[in-house]
Structure 1
Amino acid sequence: MRISGQCNGVDIHSFAQDKQAASQAHAKRARHWQYSTAIHHPQPPATPQRQTMDMEGLRSMVDAIKKMIGLFDGMINKLRETLSPNPTRFSPGKPGFVPFVPEPRVAPAVVTPVRPSPVMPEYVPGKKPDDIWGGFRQGTDGNCVTVSAIKAAMMRFGQKPRDIFKEVEKTEAGFDVVMRDGFKLQLTHDELQIAARRSAFLGNNRDMLDDAHFLFAASAKRAQLENNDRTAAHSFQQAIRTLNDGEHSREGLMRLGLREHVRNVPLSALLNGMVGTIERRGHSVAVIDGVEELWGRRGRTPYWPETITGLV
C-alpha cells in the first residue's frame, strides 16, 4: 500500500522539518549561553606561575609589616629612654659608679702650668670664683666626679686650696696639706706638673685653672695613699688614671676631705640655692644657684637625679 505524504491533514514532511529546525535553534541557544557564561564569569585555572606570584606578594606584605613594627618599637624605646632615668648606665658592679663620659669631643688645651701656689699676696679668704662655669671645666677625660666636687667646694668654701683645706704650707720640695678631715699629704712640684697635664682641664681663667690643678693633684695623691681601686698605690700616675676612668658618687668630695660637710638632701634644697652635686645617667655635675654646670656653661634645672649631695 502506498503511504501518502499527509495523514489526518498533517504534512509529515513539514512536521519533521519544523522539529529539526527547533532542535537546531535549541542547540544554538545552548552554545550562546555557554559563551556568555565564559565571558562574564571567567574561571581561569590556577597556574604554577600565578601561585608563585601570589606567594611573593604575601612575603612582601609580611616584610613590610615587620619593618613597620620595628620602626614603631624603635620609636617607643627612644621615647622611653627620653622620659625615664637610666640607672643601668652605672656600672652594675659598683652601685652609684659614674663611668667615663667622652664628652665634649674636643682636644684639651695644651697647659703649661705655672707651679700653682695657694699662698698669694692678693689672696682673699673665702672669695668665690669670678666665673665658676667657664673658669675651668672638664676636658675629654672621665674625671667628672672630681671636677664636680672641686667646683662645688670652690663655691661653698672659696676658690683657693687654703679655703678648702685646713692647712696648706709651702716647702722646698712642694706643699704640705692637711685636709678638713685631718688627712695629711705632701705634694712635690713634679707631681703638680703631672697632675696639671693629666687632668686635661680646660678653662679661660689662669688662676682658677692653677687652683683646680692643685686640688686635682691633692685628690690624686690621696687616691695613691689610699690605694684607690686597688691599683693607685703603684704610682702617682696610676692614681690619676683611677680618677680619670670614672668614680663612685661623692668620692670626689670625700677625697677633698669634706666628709663632715656632705649631706643627703632633697632636690628642692639644691633648687633653692644649696651648693651640691648630682649624678644622672653616668655623669656627675655641680649644682650652683639651682642649675647644673654643663661643660663650662650654665645649664638647666636639675631633673631626675640618681644621687643628690649637698655641702654644708
Structure 2
Amino acid sequence: MTTVFTGSTMNDEARRERIFQGDVFVYAASPASRELVSFARELVAETFGGMDPTTAQHSLPVERFAALLADVKPRFIHHPRCKEIIAVLLDELGFAPGETYFDVPRLRTSTSDGYLDSGISYAYHAHRDCWYAAPFNQVNWWIPVYDVVPENVFALHPEYFDRAVRNGSGRYDYASWVRTERPSAAQHIYSDTREQPKPEEDLDLSGELRIVTEPGGVLLFSGAQLHSTVRNTSGVTRFSIDFRTVHIDDVRSRKGAPNVDATCLGTTLRDFMRAKDLERMPEELSAEYEKEARAHLERANAATADISH
C-alpha cells in the first residue's frame, strides 16, 4: 500500500526510508521552489516572446515549437542559477547539503492532444527510472511550473512498486544512451525511434495515482516507482521541473528500494553533484555500481538460459 504524506515534518532519514518502501511525499510551494519556478518562467517567456507558452502549440507549426524547446531546455538545465536555487530548496526540506547529491534539473513539457509527444517533449510510457540505470536509492523530485490539472500531470502506478514487470531494460546501456541517443532528442518530432526500456507485457494501470499541486509544489517519490506521462487532454501544454537526489550514506550502504525487474547496464551516479559545493559523486562508487549492474545482468541472463533449457 502506498501512503501519500502532505506537508510532513518527518526527518530526512525516516522520509527516505518511507520513500524506499513506496510512499510519496507532497509539499506546498516554498520560497526556493517558487524562485526556481519563477526563473523557469523567465527563460520560457524570453524564448516564446509574447506568446503564452501553455497555449502556443495552437498557433505554431510543431517544428517551430520543437525548436523553441530545443533552445530553452538546455539553457535551463545548465544554468548555474538553477543549481544555486536547488541547493537552497534541499536545505529548506531538510536534505543535508553535505550528504545530498543532485543531478541537473530538467524542464519537461507535455503538449495536449498528441501535438508533440516524442523527442524533445517525449511522452513517457510506464517505466521505472531504474530501468534507465538510476540507482535504487534515488529520490525523484517533480515541480509544476504553471497550473496543472489531472488531465496533464503524470501518473504513478504504485500497485507495481514491488511487482516485477517484463521489460526491455536488459538491452539498455546508459553510457551508450548518453553518447548517441540523448543528443538526438530534438530531431524526433513525429516519432521517436530511440531504443528505450518499455514494458513487454500488458499492464493493468487502472489503479493509477495522479497528484495535482500548485506551481512550485514539490512531489517526492522513489525512482523505482512505475510512472508514466498522462495522455494530455487539457488543451494546454504542461511545463514542469524534475531532478533527482541521492544520499551518500545510502549510496555507500546500497540502501534503497527493491530491484524487482531492472537489468540495465551502467549507472547515472556520475551525473550527481553534492549540494554543498557541486563536487561530483566519488568515482569509485560509480565504478562499483557499474560493475554490480553488469554482474546482475549476467546472472539474469544465466537464469533465463537455465529456464529455457
Q: Which has the higher contact order (CA 8 A, sep 6+)?
A: 2
TM-score for both structures, normalised by structure 1 = 0.28
TM-score for both structures, normalised by structure 2 = 0.28
- Larger of the two Rg values belongs to structure: 1
Task: Please identify which structure carries the higher helix content.
Answer: 1
